[in-house]
Chains A and B, each alone.
Chain A
Amino acid sequence: MSRQRSTPFFDADLRDGVAAALEDCMQKTKNMDARAMQEAHWRLAADMGWLGAMVTEEQGGLELGRAFAADLCAEAGRALFCGPLLETAILLPALAAECSSLLPLLNGVVAGDVRLGLAEECSGQVLVQYADAATHIAVLNCSTDTLSVTFAPSTAFRCVMLQPLDPRSSVACAELIDPDVAEHIPLQREAADRVLHALYMAQAADLWGIAEAALLATVSYVVERRQFGRPIGQFQGVKHRLADIHTAVDAARLAIATTVDDAAGAHEAAIARILACDAALAASGAAIQYHGGLGFSWEADLHLYLKRALRLNASTGGTAALRSTVGERIIMRALEADAA
């Protein structure tokens, strides 16, 4: 028996329901251009109530909690969902919990009328994900302990669309032309921790979904594909590498499962994101390698996993920077414990 899908973080029926709806939708939309695809995927997410996963029932949401959010994001990663799902459904409610002026937006989130584009500053310019359809844009500035967010309707920005690496995303170079309508949200220690926890966990889950999907696709290919009279999965060069990736995917899954816990914070979520990112890059890279020429061809779709993983890897400061922040903290804690 080959590798099966992992157990869900929250509930099997709910997870399988999400997966089935996404699969059906992916089939129907696979030949659409990115813009039309995003609209179709977004409509599905709104109709299914997914966008309200983290919104209170009072405000029309499902209030399903973090574990479901992790399943939702993982399924989005697996299915290569096109649209700012984790930004809108997970990050925005987390921001609103810290900044009450954003609360009125949540009704729109649930209805599918609000879409949040996540932006980052980079060598003087601001790059915004999904700027083509975003109704609001949040520019994140992270430093070690604090987080400040510039939040504004997307009309406050002038956007120039650029070619995205991930064909199932869009990206623009943006300039804030109407600073008066922008809200500056400084978040101190604990508030910052809660928001980053939500964001890193969602990103980790998406990355993990990519990793598992790429691994499963590769496993089924290497048992079918024959060279030299046998399945290529029989060669140990292939076996051992896939065994390592299997372990990395499971490690990331365990790390995400811990972050849905109430006691977990941004630190644990960052570790989960790092593990999930490593797993996603390894699994999607191996998927291309072990599919040979097929893996390098656009039509095989395996590149979509790699490109999505690269996009998430680069987001919110990048996984490499996150790794050094986490590393600093671990070392500091160890030294403090030693001194005490």
Chain B
Amino acid sequence: MVRGPDFLRAASDAEFRIGLCEWLARELPALAAGRGPAAMNSIEFRLAWENHICKAGLSGLGWPREVGGHALSLSRQAIYHEEVARAGAPLPVNMIAHGIVAPTLIAFGSAEQKRRYLPRILDNSEIWCQGYSEPDAGSDLAALALRAERRGDVYLLNGQKIWTSFAHLSDYCLLLARTGQGSSPRTGISVMLTDMKLPGISVRPIRQITGEADFNEVFFDNVEVPATALLGKENEGWRLAMAAANYERSTYFVPRVVRLQSELEQLIRLASRTYRHGCAVIDKPSVREELTRLCINAHALRLFADKILADSEAGEASGVDSSAIKLLWSENHQRLFNLAMEVLGPEAALGPQELNSPDEGRWVREYLWTRAETILAGTSEVHRNIIAERGLGLPR
């Protein structure tokens, strides 16, 4: 099956990049239709853009052809993510589906599960969320307690998830549940492909410090999930969940590093057009010094991202590099917006939804959002522990 724009079949990486850039330069501004930075990052536009990409055939880039993918090499996938980010496209909403669920299904799903779910991820008609964290199982994920009891050909689910991003928009959930008591907490966990419309599931949005409500509490009250929703083997879900987390790693940071670099460039521009007491803020030694540090760290980040990609292409495990890059990225991203608040001066006291502030409030909005980045996908403390214990071999 041949689908998608021609550049997908380019002979060289360079041609691939050129074709992609041309496509992006045409399609993104057309869809954005004069939206400013705030509207470009709204959920509504993020979904519209994502649907547009998928409709154009630009999804499943790395999937095998048998399941409707393009079987692109990792380096081309990286070019794709890099250029999309550079073009200023917003981050996808359905990233759990494309980044985690799809590769996990491809590796572990039954033929029936692949047939049922993959096409609707490919065209983005079904949105997925990730139901891992619970009130008492955050950093210690293996402590999760949501029960799934086998009753004939269904599982009966009881319990609660929390901080589930986009659960209120989702059709399905990649859910971790406890199906058995094993020798350690990690045995006895199973992965369920759970229909969010089932009776007994209720979703309560939780407001975030940004003022938006993108994450949720999800309650399961005697929810009957068909046994066919089980992914992989019963009680062996931990290994599967760990593998799932790994699929994303090779390219996850590529767009994020590009975004950080372009935010740095925009911050430099903001600082050079902002004047205080007659001087451009960019001329302040403290601002220049911090900008320099950030630029150098961004360079190091880029090198980490390249190394992780090269290692994945060579089939090598990334070791603790994925923890290192997560730390380096999230902490420098926070620092970047700390500096932005200083550059803004009195305007830093304006709210995240105030369109009359510089760049429609994006600096303050992102400042607040970056506080989450050292918490989600493994807190900074957890990643430091991993680096110390697995990277340096320090005693646990």
Co-complex (A, B): yes
Binding site for B on A (CB under 8 A): 120, 122-123, 127, 129, 143, 162-166, 169, 171, 173, 226-229, 232, 235, 237-238, 285, 288-289, 292-293, 295-299, 302-303, 306, 310-311, 313-315, 317-318, 320-321, 323-324
Q: Does B140 have its Cβ within 8 Å of any Cβ on chain A?
A: yes
* Set B138, B347, B375, B376: member contacting A227, Cβ < 8 A: B138
Cα(A322)–Cα(B209), bound, Å? 28
A244: shortest Cβ distance to chain B, in Å?
A: 14
In the complex the two chains form, is A297's CB within 8 Å of B208's CB?
yes
Known: A123-B275, A289-B379, A292-B379. A163 touches B346 (CB 8 A): no
B266 at the interface (CB under 8 A from A): no
17 residue pairs A–B, Cβ–Cβ below 8 Å? A123-B274, A127-B347, A129-B349, A163-B351, A163-B361, A165-B364, A169-B349, A173-B356, A226-B136, A227-B139, A228-B139, A232-B139, A285-B371, A293-B133, A295-B375, A298-B209, A321-B276
- Report chain B residues within 8 Å CB of A321: 276
Closest-CB distance, A315 to chain B (whole angstroms)? 7
Report A125 CB to chain B, min CB distance, Å. Answer: 9
Contacts of B208 in A (CB 8 A): 296-298
* B47 close to chain A: CB less than 8 A: no
Q: Could you list 5 further interchain pairs (A-B, Cβ under 8 angstroms) beyond the known A122-B346, A295-B375?
A: A163-B353, A164-B351, A292-B138, A314-B345, A324-B284
Q: How far is the CA of A36 from the CA of B139 in the complex (A)?
A: 39
A291 to chain B, nearest CB (A): 9
Q: Which residues from A are CB-within-8-Å of B345? A: 122, 314, 317-318
Q: Which of B52-60, B87-95, B221-229, B380-388 contacts A (4 or more CB under 8 A)?
A: B380-388
**Cβ contacts under 8 Å, A165 to chain B:** 348-352, 364
Distance A65 CA – B255 CA, assembled complex (angstroms): 56
Q: Is the pair A162, B375 in contact by a Cβ cutoff of 8 Å?
A: no
Indicate whether A310 sits within 8 Å of B341 (C-beta atoms), given known contacts A237-B381, A296-B371: yes
B349 and A310 form a contact (CB under 8 A) = yes
- The answer to whether B348 and A310 have CB atoms under 8 Å apart is yes
Task: State how many angstroms separate the Cβ of A130 from the closest Cβ of chain B.
Answer: 11
A-B CB contacts (within 8 Å), total count: 126
Asked if A324 and B286 make an inter-chain contact with CB atoms under 8 angstroms apart, the answer reads yes
- Check B209 against A162 for contact (C-beta < 8 Å): no
Q: Is the CB of B341 within 8 A of A228?
A: no
Q: Which of A232, A237, A292, A299 contacts B375 (CB 8 A)?
A: A292
Q: With a CB–CB cut-off of 8 A, which chain B residues contact A122?
A: 276, 345-347
The 3 closest A-B pairs by CB, nearest first: A163-B351, A303-B209, A298-B207
For window 258-276 of B, CB contacts with A under 8 Å fall at: 274-276
Q: Which chain B residues in 351-392 approach chain A with CB under 8 Å?
A: 351-354, 356-357, 361, 364, 368, 371-372, 374-376, 379-381, 384-385
Contact B375 A163 (CB under 8 A): no
How far, in whole Å, are A323 and B341 apart by their CA atoms in the complex?
Answer: 15
Confirm or deny: B201 has a beta carbon within 8 angstroms of a beta carbon on chain A: no
Roughly how many angstroms separate A147 CA and B215 CA in the complex, as a whole number?
A: 47
Tell me, rounded to whole Å, the shortest Cβ–Cβ distance linking A116 to chain B: 17
On chain B, the residues within 8 Å of A171 by CB distance are 349-350
Q: A173-B356, A293-B162 are in contact. Are A163 and B350 (CB under 8 A)?
A: yes
If A227-B139, A292-B379 touch, whether A162 touches B371 (CB-CB below 8 Å) is no
**A297 / chain B contacts, CB cutoff of 8 Å:** 206-209, 215
Q: Say yes or no for B304: interface residue by CB 8 A criterion.
A: no
Q: Which residue of B lies closest to A299 (CB)?
A: B207
In this assembly, does B211 line the interface, its C-beta being within 8 Å of a C-beta of chain A? yes
Please state if A162 and B350 are interface contacts (CB–CB under 8 Å): yes
Contact: A235 with B163, CB < 8 Å? no
